[in-house]
Amino acid sequence: MKQLTAAQISNMRHAGKVLADTFTHIRQNLCAGMTTRDVDKMAEDYILSRHCYPCFKGVYDYQYACNTSVNEEIIHGIPTDKVLHEGDIITVDCGVGFNGVCTDACRTFPVGKISPQAQELINVTRNCFYRAVDKIKPGAEVAVVGKTIQNYIDGLGNYSILEDYCGHGIGKNLHEDPLIPNYIVRNSGLLQHVRKKFQANTAVCIEPMIFQSENNSVKVAPDGWTVVSTDGSLSAHYENTVLITANGVEVLTNSDEHN
């Protein structure tokens, strides 16, 4: 984890506020009949209007401000002409940059009235984040995130965790070390990451990705980006950029849906 200067932390706080406001703007304007490309444009236009920039653009040659993943698409959905319908859920993953630092966050939104089961999935995924972030403090091992999320999900039944992708550090770059798995790691290749300890004045992205199914297998769509549940189960994703402070944590991308 790379320690941030006071100036970088100040800039990251500003970018985080803009990203939180972007999600509020999307939630207030999202409706059936929009395309996922419309959602991406709405986000980008809002970010630019706040004198920041969408920091997803150009990373891995990606051309959009957001990932827009619908229903069984759990992450990395590319904005297209796909039309949103009443009852869908859409996951919007977005990054905002300001003065050379990045923030990254994600929300799963309802499109109009959704089923109680879909709303519960959104709630459970958000709960995973807040349960995990409550355990983060300087000196705590990265492993505490995955342990907390997995113990919560295992206790519920009928949900599972996407294990192919992880949270991450963030700062000058969108993706930095360490990787932060959302599950208990037994793979030796990830042990070097989960044994690291959180440090003050660093930032990380905690991002549980949850299926409404006990089957957590996925496939990548023909577009080479979009990750889809193989059994067609609904999926949700909730992420915030979190600053570790001397006293605990500060969630930089909090938006008012949790208040």
Half-sphere exposure of 183 (CA within 13 A, CB side): 17
**Sign of the alpha-carbon torsion through 213, 219, 222, 226:** positive
pTM over 0.85: yes
Q: Are 245 and 195 in contact (CB under 8 A)?
A: no
Residue-level pLDDT at 258: 45
Radius of gyration over alpha carbons of the chain, in Å? 17
Residue-level pLDDT at 259: 35
Mean pLDDT by runs of 10 across the 259 residues of the chain is 95 98 98 98 98 96 97 98 98 98 98 98 98 97 98 96 97 97 90 96 98 96 96 98 96 73
Residue-level pLDDT at 1: 83
What is the Cα–Cα distance from 23 to 92, expressed in whole angstroms? 8
Q: In one letter, which amino acid is 225?
A: W
Residue-level pLDDT at 256: 60
Buried b (16+ CB within 10 A) or exposed e, 217-231: ebeeeeeebbbbbee
Helical residues (DSSP H) of 30-140, grouped into ranges: 36-49, 116-133
Residue-level pLDDT at 8: 98
What is the Cα–Cα distance from 86 to 110, expressed in whole angstroms? 8
Q: All domains of the chain, ordered by start, with CATH?
A: 6-252 (3.90.230.10)
